[in-house]
Each structure stands twice: as C-alpha cells, then as structure tokens.
Structure 1
Amino acid sequence: MIIKQNTRIILSENRKNSYQNGKVLSKDSITYKRSPTEPTRHFGPLRLFREVTVAEQQSEKFIFDEAIQILILPIIGTVQVACGDDTYLVAVDESLIIHIPADTAISLVNNYKSSAIHYLVAGFVYDHPITGFSKFNLQPDKSISLFEYKNENGFLNIHIGKWRGRSSGTITPSSKHVFAFVIQGAIEMEDCLLQKADGLAMYGKEIINFEALSSEAIMIFLELNS
C-alpha cells in the first residue's frame, strides 16, 4: 500500500487473497470488516471491492450484517445471481446493482460445466435501496455511465471506460469518495502509476486527471456519497 495526501493506492500484490477449496479465488482491494489499520480497510461507504474467479459448477456466497448495495460486473462468462426469490443472469458487457438487506444471503453462481467465470463485485452502503441493470459497449477514449442516482445526501455514479495509449482524460467527481480500479492495461492518475488490478481511493478531489499508458486500458470508477 502507498499513501499520498487524500489518496490510498491498493496495489495488486497487496490485495487480500482467499482460495476456497480450490474452487473460488477472490482478491480483495477492499475487504469487508477489516481492521481500520489494514491496507484493504473500508473507504467511506465502500465496504467491499473484490475480483473473483469461480470454477465450473461452483458458487460464492455473501451475508452482510448491514444493508448493502452490490454491484456485479462480469469479465469472463455469465454470472447467475440468486438472492431470496430473485434470480438474475449477468453477462459480459452487462452490469447489475441490487439491494441486499442485512443478514440476507446472496449467491454468485457459475453454471458452466467446463469453464470458469471471472467478475468484479463491489459492496457499498447507500441511503435508498437500488436495483438496476445496465448494458454497455466500450468505445475508445470514452467513459460510459453504468448507474447514476441522486438523493438529498449526494450522488452515486458508477462508470467505466476504455482509453488508447497516451490518451488523457479528466473527471469532475460528483461525490467526495472516488474509487478507481484498473481492469486492463496501465494508467497514470493523480501522479500515481496504476497497472492491472491496482486500485486508487481518492477523497475530496475536485478534478481527477489521468493518462492511459497502454493501448485499450480499461478502468472502472465508483463515485460514492458519504
């Protein structure tokens, strides 16, 4: 972990890894219920940010002791999401956000018989329950909004983009807490070099500048209210 003023860099190699029965590999940039001194501790309302690989015919299960919003973004394959009586299928170039009440189980399932799935999952608190589904098509040098909501306490904006080498961009955050994660490639952001699976937690930034250092660099941003 590297700390700069109002930023926290969570390098890929510093994530908390868990390997369940040789079937589910999870790598946490933000880990639920970690000590406040841990590198992967909470960041404002962001309670969890995890990269997961699930083997064929296996699943990952969560139960949180507080009401939470869950974001699922598949990278490889289709994820079946089961929560109570509700079931969703989320494929590549799609994303799902759902509200999970406290002490309620949610399962992320791989129904394939011979191949693994790979996805990102984020968990964060938000004042109002949200359920939404988004389809997207990444275009060069453009950020695409997946979900955007506003209430009396601030904004929620989740967006993803792909940038070509040496192209640059600027974000004007709508919220104090911004978490950025590199899905592919390398990006320089706020004087920090970020490579694949590195995360950057930024607080109170009025403007965020970045530049892609590799072709087809892909990054997701979570702008979260306090």
Structure 2
Amino acid sequence: MKQQPSIIYKRFLQKTESTATYQKRTIAEIQDEICIVDLTLSPKGSWHFMPKFNTILAIPLAGGIQVQKPEKMHAIPVGNFLELYPTAENHVAITNPFASETVNCILIHYNSAPGQSQLQTLELPFFQWQNNPMHLTLRQFSNREEFEFMPQKPNHPLWAICLAGAFEFENRLLEDRDGLQLISPHLCEMESLCEGSILGLIQL
C-alpha cells in the first residue's frame, strides 16, 4: 500500500509536563492552528492555563472533569464533551472533582467563530460532530474490524489520534495516544488491532 504523506507523533516523543497534580502531554501542535492535549489529573488535581485559542473541546475519557472559567463552572461526565469558548484575558482551570480517582481527558484547542459554551452528548461506537471549521469523528472498534474513512476536506490536514488500543492506519502502527497527521488526505484505510480500540479523527 502506498503511504500518504504524513507526520507521526509517537507517545514517547511527545512533549510532557508533569507535576504532583497533573500530567499534560501535547500529542500534536501547529502554531496558530491546533493543539491536541492529553491531560491526566490526580485526585482533586487541576491544571490552570491561559488559552491561546478561542475554542476548546474538552472530552473526558476516564472519569468526569470540571472546567472552570471566571464566570461559570461546567461539570462534564464521561459520555459528554464541552464546547468551550474562553477569552484570552481569563485563565481556565480543568479540575478532577474526585477524592480517590484519577481522571483523563483530551483537549482540542483551535480557532473558530465565537459562540456559546455548551455541553454536548457523545455516543459511541460511532460519533460525528462539526462546527465550522472543526470536523470530529470518534469511533470504537471490535478486534480486527476494518474501516474506510473519507475526509470532509481532501486538501486539509487530518489528524488521527489513537485514544485506546491500537490500529494499523494507512499502513502505520498507532498505539495508545499516538497521533498521525496526514498532509493532504484522501480515502483512509484502517484496522483495529484489539477489542474496544477508539480512534479520533480531527480535521479543520
């Protein structure tokens, strides 16, 4: 199979920041375009930051999280995600509300037209969502399940993020929290390598 031009982001090479309360791993980042973060919070831990983008999708994967802006707090359980529109002047806090449980979430930072922050439902095994310019697909697979995906915008980069398990994606191995950017994607072929694997596909 001929490989499409791409950049791979292996987990062990990703930029990581760790403290007693959180571990933040930057899966992929392109200045002024997108930043995809894998965030793990210790019990009652939190991460505070000043947003560089005007839109954030906060997707809890293990345990619920709380997202605090100066004017409002959002509680996000698993099976939901928050479409957040912060302002550059105010910091945002992502918090683990549990006293004895570690939680994990994915944060997708990008720029879009201003809107109202809102909680959205996320249902697997297949979920698609779009809000210009974002196109997001999440899919959970059975073992050895094959799938073909046609990007919405063939001339725009596509990011594939392994959120659980492992995949063969366009003849490349993606394991847990590995990422792959296809530069000018067309029809993508993939196969799950274990039961319950979850893949995120992101395009702006």
TM-score by length of 1: 0.81
Letter in 2 for 1:144: F
| Local SS of the residue matching 2:12 | helix
When residues 165 and 23 of structure 1 are mapped into structure 2, their CA distance, relative to the original with a 3 A threshold, is: same
Equivalent position to 1:148, from 130, 134, 139? 130
Number of the residue aligned with 2:179: 199
SS state of the match for residue 30, structure 2?
Answer: coil
- Give 1:126 shift: 2.0
Counterpart position of 1:57: 44
Task: Return 5+ residue gaps in structure 2 as ranges.
Answer: none
**Residue 157 (structure 1) aligns with:** 135
Judge conservation of contact 1:45–1:126 (CA < 8 Å) in 2.
no
2:7 corresponds to = 8
Quick one: distance in 1 between partners of 2:152 and 2:114?
A: 17
Cα distance change on mapping 1:103 and 1:202 into 2, 3 Å = farther
Q: How does 1:39-118 map to 2 (within 5 A)?
A: 41-42=29-30, 45-46=33-34, 48-64=35-51, 66-118=52-104
Residues 50-109 of structure 1 deviation map (CA, whole Å, 9 limit, x = unaligned): 111111222111103x44211111112111111121211111111111112223211111
Any conservation in 1 of the 2:4–2:185 contact (CA below 8 Å)?
no
**C-alpha RMSD of matched pairs (Å):** 1.9
Is the 2:160–2:180 contact (alpha carbons within 8 Å) kept by the matching residues of 1? yes
2:22 matched residue in structure 1: 24
CA distance in 2, matches of 1:180, 1:172: 13
2:127 maps to a residue whose letter is I
Deviation of 1:169 after TM superposition, in Å, equals 1.1
Q: Relative contact order (alpha carbons < 8 A, sep ≥ 6): 1 or 2 greater?
A: 2
How is 1:180-195 mapped onto 2 (pairs within 5 angstroms)? 180-195=160-175
- Whether 1:170 aligns to 2:158 is no
TM-score by length of 2: 0.89
Give the secondary structure class of the aligned counterpart of 2:177. coil
Structure 1 residues 191 and 171, CA gap change in structure 2 (3 angstroms): same
How far apart are the structure 1 equivalents of 2:199 and 2:4?
22
Superposed, 1:114-129 pairs within 5 Å as 114-129=100-115
